[in-house]
Amino acid sequence: MIMTTDTLKTAPTVALNIGGWHFYGMWVLGGLLSMIGAMVYVEMATAFPDPGGDYNFLSKAYGREVGLLFAWSRFSIMHTGWIALMAFMFADYAGAVIPMNPLGHTLFALATVGALVGLNLMHVRLGFVTQAALVGLVTLGFASVVAAAIKLGLDGHLPAAVVAPPPAAIPTLKQMSVALIYIFLAYGGWSDAATLSAEVRSDRRGMLVTIMGSLAALMVIYLALNGAMLAGLGLNGLAHSTAPAADLMGRAFGDAGKTLIVFVVGVSAIASINSTLIVGARTTYAAARDLPALASIGRWDGGRGVPARAVLAEGGFAMVLVIAGAFATSGFNAMVDYMTPVYWLFIMASMGALMILRRRFPDAARPVKTPLYPLFPVSFLLIAIYMFVSSLFDLGRGALYGAGVLAAGAVLIALAHAMRPKRLAPAE
């Protein structure tokens, strides 16, 4: 589980749709619901550990074709889309202190992805050590954002709307849906836990404690961060800011504050891209090793401890998405639209997979079991269905593009299956 500053980009959209106490309540709700979904993933990850994670248990539940479609979605939409999203966020914040034209903005994002691909090709242990160091730096950066709001309060420079806030309007269903889409995005790392299950050496029950603790910590951190930005900028200021943390730090500490938060966002983006490359390449590797046509990608580089060709493939496709996103008004929002429907579609499939695997493999060792079964998986399945439908209707055209890329993958998998050589019946 990683801590990222994507909340510094998602918070304005949430504030634009929901104000008053609802703003904080939705962040708490998103964290608690994420814990329910994470419990389901931990059960399957600990019962069926594999480098492919979700690919492995979705294949066991629904068949290899569904597993391959999931691997395609991870490769072409979710993991690579997330990498592009974080690169755009880094470039957006860097633009607050380094003047860049649109081409420079795109090249900055591409260079960020390229550098992290090189890091992961060096050795997996270097990647994990780097990850731990980066998370520590991000924590210090988050504290500076909270300190900025405290300083403004002590100096008596809080916006008038914060001192005497107007009554909060009750949000509409569409506003709540859009807000939840962006809130779940901020909490979303838990669904990648299964991918690293085969590499967990200690008691697998510790995975549940780690993920639940991480989500609880994220909830506290996100409440503090959003509370600081809301107090320092006011609801209207936060809702219409493209770089709210930079605006807040600039008000409190001047240009030095802006530079600091750009550094923090950069560190967070690097940490998130690094982690996504680690887990995403393993899903690609796991699927490619099962397809003769992709055998060259499905190889593990034992010397470096990484699926090197899968890392290159993930990074290359992410760069393609960066180039495509450069044509949108906001590359960050375009990637959110692109990923969201497909993400929730497979969350739906995973909730169903737990119930199928419980029936199909009743004797499998389960170090962790989902509490209140089947209430928790069924409840989160209904939430996932709602989020899937909402994302298709409430987000931009990018949502349809993502669904189209997934459909193209289904066609390619069907064609590959149809073209597979058939065994001849033995002669009589």
Give the integer Cα–Cα distance in Å for 342 and 53: 17
Residue 81 or 190, more confident: 81
C-alpha 109/C-alpha 132 separation (Å) is: 23
415 Cβ partners below 8 Å, 6+ apart?
A: none
Q: What is the pLDDT of the chain when averaged over all its residues?
A: 82
pLDDT at 421: 58
Closest by CA to 10, choosing from 218, 276, 275, 320, is 218
pLDDT for the residue numbered 2: 46
CB 370 within 8 A of CB 37: no
Is the pLDDT score of 3 beyond 70? Answer: no
In this predicted structure, the answer to whether residue 80 has a pLDDT above a threshold of 70 is: yes
**In the prediction, which pLDDT does 397 show?**
86
Q: 395-414, pLDDT tens digit by residue?
A: 888 899 999 999 999 998 88
Token pair recorded at residue 91: 């470039």
| Confidence grade of residue 280 (pLDDT, cut at 50, 70, 90) | confident
Q: Is the per-residue pLDDT at 141 higher than 90?
A: no
> pLDDT digits over 332-361, tens only?
889 999 999 999 999 999 999 999 999 999
Q: Is 181 a residue whose pLDDT tops 70?
A: yes
Which amino acid does the sequence have at 101?
A: N
Percent of the chain past pLDDT 90, that is, above it, reads 31
Task: Please tell me the distance from the alpha carbon of residue 192 to that of residue 282, in angstroms, as a whole number.
Answer: 11
Better pLDDT: 26 or 427: 26
How far apart (Å, rounded) are the C-alpha atoms in residues 26 and 219?
11
- 183 versus 271: which is more confidently predicted? 183
Q: Is the predicted pLDDT of residue 389 greater than 70, yes or no?
A: yes
- For 99, residues 6+ apart whose C-beta sits below 8 A from its C-beta are none
Is it the case that residue 423 has pLDDT exceeding 60?
no
Query: What's residue 61's pLDDT?
Result: 93
| Higher-scoring residue by pLDDT: 424, 79 | 79
- Cα separation, 28 vs 205, in Å, equals 25
How far is the C-alpha of 244 from the C-alpha of 233, rounded, in Å? 8
* Whether pLDDT at 160 is above 60: no
Which pLDDT tens digit goes with each residue over 308-340? 788 888 899 999 999 999 998 888 889 999 999
What local confidence, expressed as pLDDT, does residue 13 receive? 87
284: number of Cβ within 10 Å: 28
pLDDT at residue 28 tops 70 = yes
301 beta partners: 306
Distance of alpha carbon 41 from alpha carbon 59, whole angstroms: 15
> Backbone dihedral region of 203: left (phi > 0), alpha (psi from -120 to 50 degrees) or beta?
beta
**CA atoms in the 13 A half-sphere facing the CB of 341:** 22
> At the fourth CATH level, which superfamily is domain 7-418?
Amino acid/polyamine transporter I (1.20.1740.10)
Give the pLDDT confidence score for residue 204 in this predicted structure. 60
Residue 297 has pLDDT above 80, yes or no: no
- How many CA atoms lie within 13 Å of 239's alpha carbon, on the beta-carbon side? 12
pLDDT the model gives residue 154: 82
Whole-number pLDDT of residue 428: 42
Q: Determine whether 312 is exposed, middle or buried from the number of CB atoms within 10 Å of its CB (0-12, 13-18, 19+).
A: middle
Per-residue pLDDT at 373 exceeds 70: yes
User: What's residue 170's pLDDT?
Assistant: 79
Residues 6+ apart with CB under 8 A from 251: 148, 152, 157, 232, 233, 257
- Decide if pLDDT at 99 tops 90: no
| Bridge partners of residue 29, in order along the sequence | none
Asked if the model's pLDDT at residue 147 lies above 70, the reply is yes
**Rounded to 5 degrees, what angle do the CA atoms 322, 9, 192 make?**
70
pLDDT of residue 420: 62
pLDDT score of 163 more than 90: no
Compute CA distances 339 → 5, 86, 100, whole Å.
18, 13, 27
The per-residue pLDDT for range 203-240, each reduced to its tens digit, is 566 778 888 888 998 899 899 988 899 888 888 888 88
Tell which residue, 217, 211, 242, has the closest CA to residue 15: 242
* Structure confidence at residue 234 (pLDDT): 86
Q: Note the pLDDT of residue 346.
A: 93
Q: In this predicted structure, what is the pLDDT of residue 36?
A: 93
User: Please, is 25 exposed, middle or buried when counting C-beta atoms within 10 Å of its C-beta (0-12, 13-18, 19+)?
Assistant: exposed
Name the phi and psi angles at 301, rounded to 5.
-85, 95
What pTM was computed for the model?
0.82
Tokens of 70: 């999931």
